[in-house]
Structure 1
Amino acid sequence: MGNHYTIEITGNQLTYEQFQSVVYDYRKVQISESAYKKINESRKYVEKLVQEEKTVYGITTGFGKFSDIVIQSEQTAELQSNLIISHACGVGEPLAEETVRGMMLLRINALAKGYSGIKANTLNTLVTLLNHGVHPIIPAQGSLGASGDLAPLAHMCLPLLGLGEVFYQGMRQPTNQILKTLAIPTVTLDAKEGLALINGTQMMTSLGIQSVLSARNLLFTADILAAMTVEALEGIPKAYYSKLHQVRGQVGQITTAANMMNLLEGSALTTEQGEKRVQDAYSLRCVPQVHGASKDAYHYVSHILEREMNAATDNPLIFSEEDQVVSGGNFHGQPIALAVDFLSIAMAEMANISERRIERLVNPQLSGLPAFLTKRGGLHSGYMILQYTAASLVSENKTLAHPASVDSIPSSANQEDHVSMGSIGARKCLSIMGNVLHVLAIEYVCAAQALEFASKLPGKGAQVAYNLLREKLTPLESDREGYLDIEIAKQLIQSGELVNRVQSHTNIKL
């Protein structure tokens, strides 16, 4: 665990880089003084409403369909704790600890904005749990994505009350034992606090941000591996001529074409139009158009999630300076639901086109190379079955990429009659990222093996990528367990080592 500096939380300036450092590198966080000021002002306003016995949703009333039932002031604490306990009804496997850390960070950031009416002490306890690496057990299933991720966030908040279970130092343990060990006191929730904690989009947003971070790496990787395959198949780089792409004007396409030319620079393997063939197949020739469209989708989704990262998403929201409490629907996950569905489709396409390039590498009728990239075909199968695995993953992605956001089921006695299903879409999106990673790993293995049969040197990008893999994986001479080859390539991609190494030698961009 690294912790070189503490990240200050203001509610307004959280970045992808900070998210990554807190979630994956265990950086600690602290609330800024300016945020505390707003938090305290908002809290005082809530207490004033309770004293005046004003009828305000979620503060002096029940929730959802029970919003018409007025709660007496002496029952407000019980109301809030009951909310957490009753809503903690998720099912399924626990979310990964990274996802849970992301949820905690995002909820802390949203509450730090000062529109939620939470007590500073309650928020500080959530910060303490995050900083100590105490991660609530949160079942993955049970959210409709409006009124936000209610069930998952309720599970996230159980430890504040000393309830539920947590992961701590890699072990699943009862919350009360860990709080006692770490001398972390439980909290008593007062008016509005339970609602402030569980109304929001933090599960789907945490998953979505993880997918965006993964997609960034995979989009760079796809260009690098496409260039390797073009080299191995003696492709025609004229298709990446800059003017061809500029006259269409699509930004991602223009960027990808420039990347391909950079990666292929200095190649002795690529050919001219008509030298070996007049045109390449689409999976080579249309790399800028296909990869570029996915890059454009990535940038759109990245902006949506960056906004949501710093959003106030509970209900009602407190505007104390204007003497207003406004009940609305900022918890509705529709912006995230549509975005993650779009990213799912865009990234599934990266695996689709990669698998077609893999087929061209291993199929002798398409490549002119030894069948399945082995010199001893028949006795040896070479990389025949790697393409099967890629095809299986691509087919699975086609099912996973079906949009979750086109569905809606009414809840809370039809009071909440349109929901986003954003958490389902976000979970599927992250699964797709894992499948794309493995397909690209297979292309990496196959493209490097195909280059073993080349009589000339590839361009600088392919050469750097080839050299990196060969530091860990020898050329295929005899059949061996294919999963080991895939795992080595996967680690080089997933760690960012491939992209970093190639970027240090080329000028590729996203």
Structure 2
Amino acid sequence: MSTVTIRSTGITPADLLAVARGAATVVLDSASLDAMAASRAIVDGIEAAGRPVYGVSTGFGALANTFVAPERRAELQHALIRSHAAGVGAPMPREVVRAMMLLRVRSLALGRSGVRPLVAEALVDLLNHDVTPWVPEHGSLGASGDLAPLAHCALVLLGEGWVLGPAGERVDAADALRRVGLKPVELAAKEGLALINGTDGMLGMLLLAIHDAAHLFTVADVTAALAIEAMLGSERPFLPELHAIRPHPGQSVSAANIHRLLQDSRVMDSHRDDLAHAVQDAYSMRCAPQVAGAARDTLDFVRTVADRELVSVVDNPVVLPDGRVESTGNFHGAPLGFAADFLAIAAAEVGAIAERRVDRLLDVTRSRDLPAFLSPDAGVNSGLMIAQYTAAGIVAENRRLAAPASVDSLPTSGMQEDHVSMGWAATKKLRTVLDNLTSLLAVELLAAVRGLQLRAPLTPSPAGRAAVEALGAIAGEPGPDVFLAPLMEAARAVVAGPELRAAIEREIGPLG
């Protein structure tokens, strides 16, 4: 079991993955504890002086001008958490909630939120005891950050609300804390607000999506190369000198991947000097690196945005080292919402061009002598005909999901919060687009492998052989129709997992 140390300088994307998807233990270093204690001393001084400061001695949102008496300020913080835990819908996945909690600890540990160290330590205890709050999917507008989702997390610290049970069921938070030996926390001034004001849900989902997209975009090069090989396509459009004259970095990487994946193939050798072979392949084949490469460049931009956010203070108000407490707008999720929408567009197009290659593979008039729908006995059998229907339906859904959420806004809180980012919605739908892309690449993988199997006795490239071996163990040889859904689920697991890429890289070296 690994350990993730949260420092006053923040955490890394790898830290987040280790906690969100793994079982890493979380610890706070001494510098972060000192930074929080120093920040808290400033808030205590404000309390003692009786100065009106937003979030410390006033209400929130449209109630920012309402002064709260000292004896009711702890009550104010508890009431804030209860009232803001107003989400509805199905629970968010465990990995998203754990990512959100870790990022909230990171935010507090930067020492600009004015909370006692024990508040951050209480969140760490939830992570280390695998107590995952039940966070409904609807409720956040992306400003002031992810208020409702974070409030559902904070409510568990108070011994209230719900947590996810072992089978995903809803469990009473007080019972869950009791079972692992944890006690509820009594919040002091400013601490409730500090627990819920920030972009942690959006950023957590974006970081998880970045990791998944990086893997899927490389797999997309693999499935494209396999489909091109099965359709007797040309490797010449992927020559490096043709991409050097249009120097988009991602395009060059994808082209290099596809070119290398197509080497040492008897299938490719069979038609390289055939004068009857098509002079130019269809766009879905020839332009694969232009689309996948643009997606890679989009991912690089999104990664830059996320890296900046990982070192950002997104609370409001913030406690500055010189003793000032200032209101900010850093909780606004526009940077993350824009980035998520951009990546969703790119991922949707990677899936869309993959579906076009699937359609060509199945069409007897365009697949260069492969049987209709990749069935050796088409007519009685339908082969992969309906798998392409499924892919087409998913492409249509991804097009709808690629419509940006970040251009939408609805005013709230008596017009005090009159422009919101919808960043939570943008990052949440991005996860769906990437899950859909996994399915689309699975259909292309299955179709390409069927195509390569039907080219026998010609042997495919090393990448093709690895794919045929991986899928052949699941799908067998081409033959009579079988129940397709389990094969497609198995292909999804191959696309999502690391084994196929690892097998290919053992043969041809690392892919970009």
Q: Which TM-score applies when normalising by structure 1?
A: 0.97
1:319-334 alignment to 2 at 5 Å?
A: 319-320=320-321, 322-334=322-334
2:10–2:110 CA contact under 8 A, matched in 1? no
Amino acid at match of 2:377: R
User: CA–CA distance in 1 between the matches of 2:227 and 2:151?
Assistant: 48
Deviates more, 1:87-96 or 1:310-319: 310-319
Amino acid at match of 1:254: S
Amino acid at match of 1:325: V
Aligned to 1:467: 469
User: CA–CA distance in 2 between the matches of 1:509 and 1:371?
Assistant: 33
Q: Offset at 1:331?
A: 0.5
**Does residue 308 in structure 1 map to residue 306 in structure 2?**
no
**Does residue 124 in structure 1 map to residue 121 in structure 2?**
yes
1:109–1:310 CA contact under 8 A, matched in 2? no
User: CA–CA distance in 1 between the matches of 2:175 and 2:184?
Assistant: 12
Aligned to 1:501: 503
1:397-476 alignment to 2 at 5 Å?
A: 397-454=398-455, 455-476=457-478
- SS of 2:380's equivalent? coil
Deviates more, 1:482-491 or 1:163-172: 163-172
Aligned to 1:59: 56
Number of residue pairs the alignment of both structures matches? 506
**Structure 1 segments unaligned to the other structure (5+ residues):** none
Q: Offset at 1:33?
A: 0.8
Aligned to 2:234: 236
Aligned to 1:104: 101
Amino acid at match of 2:68: I
Q: Offset at 1:366?
A: 0.6
Aligned to 2:182: 184
1:9 to 6, 10, 21: 6
1:150–1:198 CA contact under 8 A, matched in 2? yes
User: CA–CA distance in 2 between the matches of 1:476 and 1:197?
Assistant: 57
2:259 to 246, 251, 261: 261
Q: Offset at 1:193?
A: 0.3
User: CA–CA distance in 2 between the matches of 1:105 and 1:227?
Assistant: 39
Aligned to 2:44: 47
Per-residue CA distance 1:191-248 (angstroms, 9 max, x = gap):
1101100001111111112211111111011000111011101111110011111111
Q: Offset at 1:508?
A: 4.5
User: CA–CA distance in 1 between the matches of 2:39 and 2:370?
Assistant: 69
- SS of 1:136's equivalent? coil
1:62-461 alignment to 2 at 5 Å?
A: 62-170=59-167, 171-270=169-268, 271-272=271-272, 274-320=275-321, 322-367=322-367, 368-454=369-455, 455-461=457-463
User: CA–CA distance in 1 between the matches of 2:162 and 2:29?
Assistant: 29
User: CA–CA distance in 1 between the matches of 2:443 and 2:179?
Assistant: 46
- SS of 2:447's equivalent? helix
Per-residue CA distance 1:379-412 (angstroms, 9 max, x = gap):
1111110000000000011111100001111111
Per-residue CA distance 1:130-172 (angstroms, 9 max, x = gap):
1111011111001110000111110111111110011143343
- SS of 1:151's equivalent? helix
Q: Offset at 1:123?
A: 1.2
Once the two structures are aligned, what percentage of the paired residues are identical?
40
Amino acid at match of 1:72: A
In structure 2, the CA distance between the partners of 1:28 and 1:88, relative to structure 1 (3 Å rule), is same
Per-residue CA distance 1:70-127 (angstroms, 9 max, x = gap):
1122111011111101111111111011111111111111111111111111111111
Q: Offset at 1:11?
A: 4.4
Q: Offset at 1:275?
A: 4.8
User: CA–CA distance in 1 between the matches of 2:427 and 2:334?
Assistant: 12
Per-residue CA distance 1:404-436 (angstroms, 9 max, x = gap):
001111111111111100111111111111111
2:405–2:422 CA contact under 8 A, matched in 1? yes
**Structure 2 segments unaligned to the other structure (5+ residues):** none
Amino acid at match of 1:327: S
1:207–1:430 CA contact under 8 A, matched in 2? yes
1:246–1:254 CA contact under 8 A, matched in 2? yes
